[in-house]
Structure formats: structure tokens, C-alpha cells
Chains A and B, each alone.
Chain A
Amino acid sequence: MRAKTGHEDLVVWRSASGVLSAWENRCPHRGMRLSHGFVRGESLACAYHGWHFECSGRCHYIPAHPELELPRTIKPTTFDVVERDGLVWVNTTEKAIPFSLPAGATPLRSITCNTTLDALTNHIFGTTKPCSNSGCHSTTVESQQPCVLSTLLTDSSHRVYLAMQASEDHTTVVHALLSMEANETQRITVSRWLESLRREAESP
């Protein structure tokens, strides 16, 4: 799939055996977005001319020239990637180090807001209203990492964690996680609350 961090356009993919990779979203052949490609076993195949790249990024198969011995240098730019708590962390300049989340949070959903990260965090810290209409009462916001991760205390037992990812086109992806014990109704309530958070943050 395609993902954006700051100024980088990424392809993030998982091989059949589960290996995660995050690369620059550009095929070294003719620059096609690799996120249009498809996973074949342990390789990612470009949708354009079908070049195959293995998890290390190395190109190991070119359909038009199946016999060719390929130089190791044909590969997209690769980035360090780590998976934790159901989130995938990528660092495009150095080693990826995930922020630690308290144990027991599971991913709920990811939604894209048409606002900058600043506008969104200002909105959350300034005006967040209780996640009303079932069981979520007091809402206090704690910031764990400035502008990156906030926690919302919804009721006495369930916390919502928001991991916020800014992209250069002035949109922000919010990955929401919720305590494992939350039941279906509570999960759906938080999903609806996220939707209204987005509506409010986007309204002029």
C-alpha cells in the first residue's frame, strides 16, 4: 500500500511469509509507483513491466530478460521499518524507533483528515468534547510525545491512543488504538467519535 511520511512517498508491503518492507514509492526502472504493484510470494512486482524486487529491495527478475544476471545495485531506496502494537513505524533517515505504547492497545482504524497536524492537535487539545452517547464520559488529553502521540482518557477503563502522521500535502493520518478490553459497541462509538473529530477539525 501507499503511505506518506512528511515529504516521502512510500510503498509499504508485507511478503507472503510476513516480512515488512518500506521503500521509496518509485520503481528504479521507469519510476512507476511501486504501490500499484503486487506481492508475489517474497517479492514485490512492479505493475508496469513486472520487475520483481525481493524484501531486501534487490531486483532479482526482469520478465523481458529472464536470463539476465542482475547487478545488486538495481534497487529502490529502502528504509528502516519496525512493527509494534499493530503499528508500522518507518524512519526515512535513520533507525526506526517506535514510541512505546502501554500494553493492551489494539488498532481501531486509520482515518485521513484534511488538516495539518498542528491544526488537528490544536483542535484536540483546545476543544475536544466528550465521546458521548455510551459510556465515554470525561475526556482528558495527555500528550506522550509532542504532536505525535496523544492519549485520550474516555472513561475510567478505556483509553484511545492517537498516533498522528503528518504529510506534506497538509493532510494528517490519524491511527487510533483502543484498549483491548473495549467491546464492539464501545469500538463503534469511538469510530463515530473519530469521524466527528475530523468533521469539526476540518470545518472552517
Chain B
Amino acid sequence: MTFTLYNYVLSGNCYKIRLLAALLDVQYGTVAVNFHPGGEHRQEPLLRLNPAGTLPIMVTSDQTLTETQAMLVWLAQHYDDSNSWWPIHDLDTLPTVIQWLGFANRLTSSIGALRQHTLLNKPADASTTRAAGIAALRELECRLAEQSIRGEQWLAGKSPTVADIACFPYTALSPDAGIENDDYPAIRSWLHSVRSLDGFITMPGIHELHQMRDPAGASAGTLRDHHG
């Protein structure tokens, strides 16, 4: 087995790992954790694996990782032969990738926390997390708008990287937290690009692109969908 993922279906962070694994076509094992209402991740024996009491947890043949962004790097390093998802040889792009991996933690602590508060009634300061979530989306929008001025559609460099995967779930899930994405045109088109990736998978709250079909059924849905 390549690795084992301690997984919770509604977690945006767990979904990052499932998504990149699907994009890289990697098979793995999962252990379903009763995150809510069981709170298993905050109890033994899971605390022995991850004393921080968070999900996801990734167990490989020789190590245990408890930070989502590190798991993304592990996956890319082992299974992306093109070295494009973790562009280790592109020294202009790599620092930017790491910058947006760091930013992804701010999406978790703002939109992610507010979403858990909204969906699962977990404690959070709704107005502070909301303000932080909107500030984060504005920063992301600014970056993506500038990338589009440069003729680029991804967060760093010319192709998708682990940074795009790290920032995708909580941005796409912001409506769950009561923050609509109507006001962020560059974000909307980037979400569309991620959802168009070959091998893309969904989670509750993040659905597939509706493939556009020729009304006569003649061509096999190759045209881009234009999501409302």
C-alpha cells in the first residue's frame, strides 16, 4: 500500500489529499474517522498518531504526516514524474508555491472554521472568522487577477501545483460558510479551471462541472461548461 489516509468525508483538508491522489492516479487505503459527532480524532488511539488532534493524518511506509500541505508535497514528490505539481527544479516558482501553501492555512482557520461553525455548530467567533475569510478571498482574488493579467491561470507558474490544490477546497466551500463567491470573478474562473482538471473528483458541496452536450447528442461533451 502506498499510504493510509485517516479520512473524514466532509473535511476540506482530507479532500485535498483525495483530490491530488485522484489527479495523480494513486491508489491508497483509508480509515474512516468519526470526526463528528464522535470526535474520534481527539481521543486515543488517534492522538497517539497525531497529538494535535486534527485530520487528515497520512501514514506512509516510513513516516506519519499530520499537516495537509506536507502530505500534498509527499504525494507530488512520489507520484508526479513530471515534477510539475511540486516544481522542485523551478526555483523561480517554488517559493511562490510555498507562499500559497502557507496561505492555505489561513483559509482553513477562517473559512474552514466558520464552515464547521455553520454546518456542525462548532464554536467559532463568527464575525472574526468571517472578516478573516473575506480578507483571504480578496487576497486570493487579487493574486489570481494579476496572474490573469500575466496570461496565467494558476497560483504559481504556468501549470497547476500543490498550491492550487491546497487553496481550492475552502475557497470552493465558502458558500457553506455563508460567503458567496459572486464578488470574485478571478476566483470563479480559477475554480472552474481546477474542476476542469483531468481526473477531478468531488466532495459534498463541491460538484462536478456539468458537461455541455450537443443538443442533438452528436458530439461527446468536449465544449467547456460555463457555470452560471
Seen from chain A, the residues whose Cβ lies within 8 Å of a Cβ on chain B are 1-3, 11, 13-14, 16, 34-42, 44-45, 47, 108-112, 171, 173, 184, 187-188, 191-192, 195
Contact = CB atoms under 8 A, between A and B. Distances in A.
Interface string B83-121: 000000000000000000000000000000000000000
B188 A1 contact: yes
Interface of B: 138, 141-142, 145-146, 149-150, 180, 182-183, 185-186, 188, 210, 212-215, 223, 225-228
A109 B182 contact: no
Contacts of A47: 228
Contacts of B228: 1-2, 11, 13, 34-39, 44, 47
Given A13-B226, A36-B228, A109-B186, A42 B146 contact: no
B210 A184 contact: no
A13 B226 CA distance: 8
Give 7 closest A-B pairs by Cβ, nearest first.
A112-B183, A39-B226, A38-B210, A2-B182, A109-B145, A35-B228, A187-B149
Contacts of A44: 228
A184 B215 contact: no
A195 B142 contact: yes
B182 A40 contact: no
Contacts, number: 65
A3 B210 CA distance: 21
A187 B145 CA distance: 10
Contacts of A34: 228
B149 A188 contact: yes
B142 A191 contact: yes
B226 A42 contact: no
A41 B210 contact: no
Given A36-B228, A40-B210, A112-B183, A16 B146 contact: no
Contacts of A111: 141, 183
A39 B212 contact: yes
Contacts of B141: 111
Contacts of B150: 184, 188
Nearest to B225: A38
Contacts of B223: 16
A115 B149 CA distance: 26
Contacts of A37: 228
A38 B227 contact: yes
Contact of B146 (A36, A38, A188): A188
A34 B225 CA distance: 16
Nearest to B224: A16
B25 to A, nearest CB: 27
A191 B223 CA distance: 31
A108 B186 CA distance: 11
A41 B212 contact: yes
B211 to A, nearest CB: 9
Nearest to B227: A38
5 contacts: A39-B228, A41-B213, A110-B185, A112-B183, A188-B149
